Amino acid sequence: MQEVEGVLNGTLDYSKLKGHTGPLVYPAVIHITLLILVLRIYERTRKVPPFVLILVFSTSYRIHSIFVLRLFNDPIAMLFLFASINVFLDQKWYLGSILFSIAVSIKMNILLFAPAVLIAYITNLGLFQTLIQLSICAFIQLILGLPFLITNPIAYIKGAFNLVRIFEFKWTVNWRFLSEDLFVSPYFHITLLSLHILILIHFAPKWITYFRSYKKLKNVHKTYKSLFMKTNINISTASQLFILPMFAANFIGLIFSRSLHYQFYVWYYHTLPYIAWSCDYNTTTRLVILGLIELCWNVYPSTVYSSLCLHVCHLVLLYGLNIHVSKTLKTS
């Protein structure tokens, strides 16, 4: 909020925008709007039982505190992200690109979805239209950053797109079991980035198949709907083919993040039920995993055991995702 006040007071030099996180009442409409967008995605995919969504989305103390007690920009970024995914599902690619770029301008974690978004562009729109969509995203970034670029372009680029930022060890949720020296080591960061890229490369061919199948099913749906206009057609399978790569790309990025702070929980919280129900585990196992993840995020300050538990849960879900996707492609 202090950074926002600085802009309103006329400070457009990005290097001079500073502030401290402080308590502030957060508009409930943001939380409700985000939930509506998320539930619309779940309704279209029909992947997760409704009782699970009610249980999970109404019981997280950490998520409620992120929305209600402090004015973090993370929930606002996720709101625009889920809005973009909704309109992508509606085949409104231009609007989706605009909303996606706005989300990125609010918080760079949205770029974790970018590998899946790029594959979706290429497989559904072709190379030329992909370049147009990327140009739209870049143009939005240019327009939103223009006042700061005019004032001090170097400070803006270094501050807004700081990919080498060193996180404070005291706030980490996921790497508490490491020594602080290792935590801040550039070699550790390079290792995480390398693993992130390798896992993305592993999943990329599978996602390409998913998105190609999504395009085919959407074309079939469009043809069928034009022939039988009054018939309700179940397109949940097509929606699942689109959503899983999106949520999985973000999830993989979080697993290999250099650090996760408490407000970062909202980056993937609303996608976790979908991730869990995309694994071939029984309902009890899925709920236990989600419960343990919630517990880990509510341990403050984080401990060696809470961090280790969080990684175990993440890896169990990642393993389950890989098995599920591989089985799906073999049987298709």
**pTM of the entire predicted model:** 0.90
With beta carbons less than 8 A apart as the criterion, state whether 329 and 319 touch: no
Judged against a pLDDT cut of 80, whether residue 183 lies above it is answered with yes
Confidence of residue 279 (pLDDT cuts 50, 70, 90): very high
Judged against a pLDDT cut of 80, whether residue 6 lies above it is answered with no
CA dist 85 and 41 (Å) reads 8
Judged against a pLDDT cut of 90, whether residue 165 lies above it is answered with no
Confidence of residue 28 (pLDDT cuts 50, 70, 90): confident
* CA distance to 6, 228, 317, 318, per residue, from 281 (Å): 49, 38, 9, 12
**pLDDT tens string 287-308:** 999 999 999 999 999 999 999 9
- Residues 31-48 have a mean pLDDT of 95
Judged against a pLDDT cut of 60, whether residue 142 lies above it is answered with yes
Judged against a pLDDT cut of 80, whether residue 318 lies above it is answered with yes
Residue 315 CB: number of other CB atoms within 10 A? 11
- Residues 59-81 have a mean pLDDT of 85
Selection from 51-65, 151-165, 315-329 with the highest mean pLDDT: 315-329
63 vs 28: which has the higher pLDDT: 63
Judged against a pLDDT cut of 50, whether residue 22 lies above it is answered with no
CA dist 1 and 9 (Å) reads 12
Judged against a pLDDT cut of 90, whether residue 322 lies above it is answered with yes
Which pLDDT value is given to residue 155? 80
Of the candidates 284, 228, 246, the residue with the CA atom closest to the CA atom of residue 44: 246
**Residue 23, helix vs strand vs coil:** strand
| Residue 67: strand pairing partners | none
Tokens for 38, please give them: 């998320």
Which pLDDT value is given to residue 75? 93
With beta carbons less than 8 A apart as the criterion, state whether 253 and 116 touch: no
Which pLDDT value is given to residue 157? 76
With beta carbons less than 8 A apart as the criterion, state whether 257 and 192 touch: yes
Q: Exposed, middle or buried: residue 108 (CB in 10 Å: 0-12, 13-18, 19+)?
A: middle
**Residue 15: alpha-carbon gap to chain centroid:** 27
Give me the torsion for CA of 19, 99, 30, 314, rounded to 10°: -80
Residue 69 CB: number of other CB atoms within 10 A? 12
Which pLDDT value is given to residue 231? 54
Across 35-49, 212-226, 235-249, 296-310, least confident range: 212-226
Which pLDDT value is given to residue 24? 40
Which pLDDT value is given to residue 23? 38
**pLDDT tens string 84-107:** 999 999 999 999 999 999 999 999
Which pLDDT value is given to residue 223? 75
Confidence of residue 319 (pLDDT cuts 50, 70, 90): very high
Contacts 24+ apart (CB under 8 A), 183-187: 183/259
Tokens for 223, please give them: 């043809």
